[in-house]
Amino acid sequence: MKISTISELILKFSQKRNLNNFSQYFSINNIRSSDKLLSLFRSKRIFTRFVSSTTHSYNQNKQKHKLKPQHVLISNYSSFINEYIEKPPYNNFKDLLKISPYFLLNGEQIRLLQEPKELYEELKSQILVAKERIFIAALYIGYSEKDLVNTLRIAIKKTKQLKVHILLDCLRSTRTGQTPSDKSPAYLLLPLVKEFPDQVTVSLYHTPDLTGILKKFIPPRFNEGIGLMHIKSFIFDNNLLLSGANLNHDYFTNRQDRYMLFENTPSLTNYFADLVETVASFSYRLSPTKLVDEDSFKLVLKNYPDPVTQSTLFRENSSLIMNNFIKRWIIHSIEQDHNLSLQKYDTIVFPIIQMNPLYIRQDELATFIVLDAISMHGNKINVNENKFCRVFFTSGYFNFTQSYKERVLNARAKFQLLAASPEANGFYKSKGISKYIPQAYTFLEKQFYSDICHYGKEHLIKIQEYKRPGWTFHAKGLWCYLDGESWPSLTIIGSSNYGYRSTERDLEAQAILITENTQLRKTIHDELENMSKYTEEVTKETFQQIDRKVPYLVGAATRLIRTML
């Protein structure tokens, strides 16, 4: 059955409801009730199969704090933005204006990096030239990255007015390694906090979904499946680097990801700086203790509900804060038009976030808008399949939600889905139970391939696997080529893997970039081509290979914990 388009949903909704309830599109907590045995897990979002299809997503009675309707402000948009949004390629995706702030740029301000080593070199270079601020958001900084931290120390000593704010995930960044010498990232950063207390802040976000008995009994590493701070953004004065990469040795050497640098873009950079500070406002702060032990630290959260002991209140307050954040920046976008120069711009960027533990589903809705617009484009033009839009999805962890699956299967467009092969999965040949994770993703990939065959879409939807000897694959994003064009007009870059975990559990941030700049479009195309040259197409024979057979118990476990993958 075809999925309703976003425009139809908005029309029906506005006819039935006061427009002030438009915020329902940003939040769900649609968890089906079941027997008492599973009620604890469902309330904590452990084994729940989240219902995120269009039919059920926009539950109208669950949440108290919703985003105010920003589309009612569209009449206030200046003719300046309308000049751009009504012409190709922007007009295909103009519904994004209803849910997201926007920033007008020029393609010359955007530079793409191709290899992990370029990321490391760029990070160090940007750190050393920063004069006012360095804001880092990442899942974690590897304990071995002492050289990177020392580079921060050099920059801080050199410039007394430099402020450094690092936002990490609490669970991952306080977990120690398997050996006594492999300490947690918190220990790595503690000396900076002690040495420069007026210049360095380290914030650690803790999910409100890991509380009580779950917090007590789920061991470290496994508890990270409950939810993480997964945003990856790096700010140096007015320069912004967006990526999906963490700050660890593999991501600087042989773990392929994506890296996009926005240079001299103060407004867009301020948005992501504000995002870091806003999430940090309800996160723990790393603080040294006054004990004799120099390595000891404590996590401080002043004048705010604790995510572990006061999770309900924490969730409500933090949801309100994030809704106000989105509202504030949408209004800022409208107001900034009046201050823009009369120069011509050729690129629009829409920043989007996903924080389902806080009832924010902006990224999901924005991706729906993009996919539905692509499908509508194929419906309204009477052309053969050779002229369909081409869409490329990449994810290091192949686990599409049902809603994304349905849109891909129903769309009148050509899709190529690029995922990691088992050998390119970061958990390949790992120790313990995690060694079965690549098999779990093979199970999910095979399920989707079977759906493709069942609906007779093999000629329109292809799956490819990244195989590069000695390398792993962590890239995620979307590329859209309109009307059979040779270069993409749209790409999405950021931290989301488009799976259940990204949609339901973690905090994510992305940017949708739409451009008519020819050189930038070529560069974005080359980025995809550089990854695609290491891929192999998936066929039914792929899953018949002996090393791709998935044990029954692995398949059963995958169904059970799918939202944690």
**Radius of gyration (Cα) for the chain, nearest Å?**
23
* Residue 50 domain flag: no
> Are both 312 and 442 inside the same structural domain?
no
What domain range includes position 240?
Answer: 108-338
Single out the catalytic residue among 66, 94, 165, 230: 230
> Are both 274 and 383 inside the same structural domain?
no
> Are both 352 and 334 inside the same structural domain?
no
Name residue 17's amino acid.
R
> Are both 423 and 449 inside the same structural domain?
yes
Per-residue confidence (pLDDT) for residue 132, from 0 to 100: 98
Per-residue confidence (pLDDT) for residue 199, from 0 to 100: 98
Which tens digits make up the pLDDT trace of 29-80?
333 333 332 343 334 443 333 333 333 333 333 333 334 444 334 445 555 6
> Are both 293 and 368 inside the same structural domain?
no
> Are both 294 and 414 inside the same structural domain?
no
* Residue 504 domain flag: yes
Q: Are 467 and 423 in contact (CB under 8 A)?
A: yes
Distances (CA, A) of 162 to 137, 236, 306, 347: 17, 10, 30, 31
Q: Are 556 and 436 in contact (CB under 8 A)?
A: no
- 3 state DSSP class of 3: coil
Single out the catalytic residue among 66, 232, 474, 476: 232
> Are both 332 and 383 inside the same structural domain?
no
Identify whether 230 is a catalytic site residue. Answer: yes
Per-residue confidence (pLDDT) for residue 83, from 0 to 100: 77
> Are both 525 and 377 inside the same structural domain?
yes
The per-residue DSSP string of 451-495 comes to HHHHTT-TTTEEEEEE--TT-EE---EEEEEGGG-SS-SEEEEES
Instruction: Collect all residues with Cβ–Cβ distance below 8 Å to 313 and sequence separation of at least 6.
Output: 305
Q: How many domains does the chain have?
A: 2
> Are both 225 and 332 inside the same structural domain?
yes
* Residue 473 domain flag: yes
* Residue 334 domain flag: yes
List the chain pLDDT tens, one digit each, 565 residues: 443 443 343 334 334 333 333 343 344 333 333 333 234 333 444 333 333 333 333 333 333 333 444 433 444 555 567 777 888 899 999 999 999 999 999 999 999 999 999 999 999 999 999 999 999 999 999 999 999 999 999 999 999 999 999 999 999 999 987 666 678 999 999 999 999 999 999 999 999 999 999 999 999 989 999 999 999 999 999 999 999 999 999 999 999 999 999 999 999 999 999 999 999 999 999 999 876 556 789 999 999 999 999 999 999 999 999 999 999 999 999 888 766 665 789 999 999 999 999 999 999 999 999 999 998 887 775 667 777 899 999 999 989 999 999 999 999 999 999 999 999 998 887 887 888 999 999 999 999 999 999 999 999 999 999 999 999 999 999 999 998 899 999 999 999 999 999 999 999 999 999 999 999 999 999 999 999 999 999 999 999 999 999 999 999 999 988 888 8
* Residue 65 domain flag: no
* Residue 172 domain flag: yes
- 3 state DSSP class of 228: coil
> Are both 144 and 245 inside the same structural domain?
yes
**CATH number of the domain encompassing residue 486:** 3.30.870.10
CA neighbor of 156 nearest in space, from 147, 166, 164, 145: 164
Q: Which helix (H) or strand (E) holds 390?
A: strand 390-395
* Residue 37 domain flag: no
Per-residue confidence (pLDDT) for residue 564, from 0 to 100: 87
Domain end residue (candidates: 304, 338, 372): 338
> Are both 327 and 374 inside the same structural domain?
no
Q: Which two tokens stand for residue 166?
A: 């690092």
The C-alpha atoms of residue 334 and residue 267 are separated, in whole angstroms, by 13
Break the chain down into helix, strand, coil percent, rounded to 5: 45, 20, 35
* Residue 92 domain flag: no
Identify whether 337 is a catalytic site residue. Answer: no
- Annotate 87-106 with b (16+ C-beta within 10 A) or e (fewer): eebbebbbbbbbbbbbbbbb
> Are both 399 and 496 inside the same structural domain?
yes
Q: Are 507 and 229 in contact (CB under 8 A)?
A: yes
Per-residue confidence (pLDDT) for residue 34, from 0 to 100: 32
Per-residue confidence (pLDDT) for residue 291, from 0 to 100: 63
Identify whether 474 is a catalytic site residue. Answer: no
Q: Are 514 and 89 in contact (CB under 8 A)?
A: yes
